[in-house]
Chains A and B, each alone.
Chain A
Amino acid sequence: MNNSAIGQTLPSSKPRAHQQSSPMRRRENLLGWLLASPFLIGFTVFTAGPMLVSLFLSFADWNLLSSPQFIGLANYQEMLFADKLVGHSLKVTLYFALGSIPLHIILGLAIAMMLNTSVKGLSFFRTIYYLPAILSGVAVAMLWRWIFSPDFGLLNAGLAMVGIEGPNWLMSRQWVIPSFILMSLWGVGGSMVIYLASLQGIPTSLYEAATIDGAGWWAQTRHITLPMMSPVILFQLIIGIIQAFRFFEAAYIMTDGGPANASLFFMLYLYRQAFQYFNMGYASALAWLLFFIVLILSLLVLRSSPAWVYYETELKGR
């Protein structure tokens, strides 16, 4: 299913007989545009238009009450050189990203590889592991606030059983980000499902041939599994970056940026500037900074990909 889907990404140009006649052709042309118009309208109203407005606002000072004042690059100057919380919230977000993304990839792959060893109850395990991934939201944030509760929470109760005195997770400046990383790992099943699907797409003949050549488990993993999985890992890496920089609701609900701004994620700061202080212009500039950072990080990852991502077509070219 997946391979065929990828193969059909490019529009097919198969000619069909009835399209020779011109009125019919014109009607199809018109109908095509008409049916595609929900996307066009949606794109204009909710994406392209807002992006232009946002760009304009980022050069303005506006608190929603008076009319916007054009102030040139002042927002960007403030953001890049004066406002210490910008750099701080970026650091917090980056810390979270660097902690959670590699763990997600390693853990997701490990579970998928174990499930791919023709174990019984595959769909049972897959269902259980995937369940938390659908439950993102306020309820999950509530649940984990309770789990991280220092005196009566599940985590510290478990640690106490093995004689460890757990930290004051969400109220500790050192532990608050690791807490969020730990919580995010609960949803690892979301990417695991994707890894599992592509693992199942690797031809078994590759492993059979490798076994005949005497390759052990590690050699097979190193030279077959990981290269074959690398395009999916690349994709997950980029999704992971986008999601980490979008991280908001758990921080808003569980710590509100505390203690002492230790969990002031970038989106939380952006939200405050926009919807609590009503600095719409400044918040727009922050949004564009976020956009460029995500874009640059994604491009860097993509740039690095020829060094480690393997595409089947390369082999055919040789």
Chain B
Amino acid sequence: MTPYRLLFAGLACATCLSAGSAAAQDICEDGQAVTLTILRTPGNYPYPAAMKAWQEKHPCVSFEINEVPFAQLADTISVQAAGASPPDIIVYDGPNTQSYAEAGILLPVTDYLPDGWEDDILPATRAEHSYNGEVYSPGIEQTTVALYYNRALVEAAGIEPPQTLEEAWTWPEALEAFKACQQGPAGAPDIWGLGPTRFGNGQPGLVYQDLLYQRSNGDPEAPQDSSAFRTFWALSPDGSTVEGYLDTPEAIEALTFYRAMFNEEGVAPKVGIPNAFFDGKACFYIDTPAAGNALLAEPTIEWGITPLPYFRTPVVHTGSTTFGATARSAHPEVAARFVVEMSWGEYAYMNVSQRGNLPTLRSLFERFDIYDDYPMKVFVDQLESWGQPRPPSPRFAQYDRIVSEALRDVAFGGDPERAMAGAERNVQRALER
């Protein structure tokens, strides 16, 4: 190496170090070391590779991570966020954004968003993570559900599920397929027509998945005072009332069908069966892209995806876990910058590619080849054409729990009208407090 090259290398190193130091001073006040505490669920982002890359640019920042299971996440946040030393960053379920924003838990990150973010972000994500004109979480992942099927079982039953949104089944058509494919007596078969969810404890009723039955029997284009319009939105657009939105005639009609699947028709189980679809114990199964990515990595069965069936209006829920900086963080500036930078550009790509859910940035879609073609393309198409956030409200957590329990009661054989009237009353009570 010549002296000239040595000098050049030395200068380059000095430049790098000074740049790093400048960056450190830029994000850490007075160059002081900062420890950011993160509360998240196990196996969730921010992922180590992205964090390590970010830390190399900001060596003054270290992390302390606490993990709790998803089932205890909301309870833990509600206790810790109000405590003496709240976490700096929380990973949480996206639809709770408005609840946490209204309670003053989340820090608005609007001022930290990079140029071009508004054009790049999916509208459903933007809506779900905003409150009173401020963005509280930039979002990293987006998920939605579609209908997976076991190719061998379905073909043996002579069924050809559609592969495009234009040909998507209605729920009555899907039910015929479930019945044709199911093996064994209704209610206790060897192979179920429609397998149980993997969410929660495997019981039916989750708003994320099962509110879609009644919403799809509504119509967003109908007059605003019509029951069809209210059925589709399932909560008033301003989030102030639920009266007349859940127990409409269209909702009851859809839920009567929904109840029959678990009871009279006996094609769907009322309790969880772990890995039923992956073990070949179910013909059809509703899940997010995560299941497809798991099957691509480890193809235990031959499988395919068909768009989620509907009654009148195709609709799928969007949303995922997301993360935000807390308003009472000891280092709000650093926390907000970390959250925003983890959700943008290369860091966002590193995080999204870890789990395989859909990105929230349009610019990242082209970097995931698997979403270009069937079967995973179904998710992208659904998200763009049918995606709707779960009914946004500062009381979403209460709405979610009350309506999920009502839907579960219907699946267990309860009267849809009674269940939904009760849910309306209880949600309204929560909204008014």
Asked whether A and B interact, the reply is: no
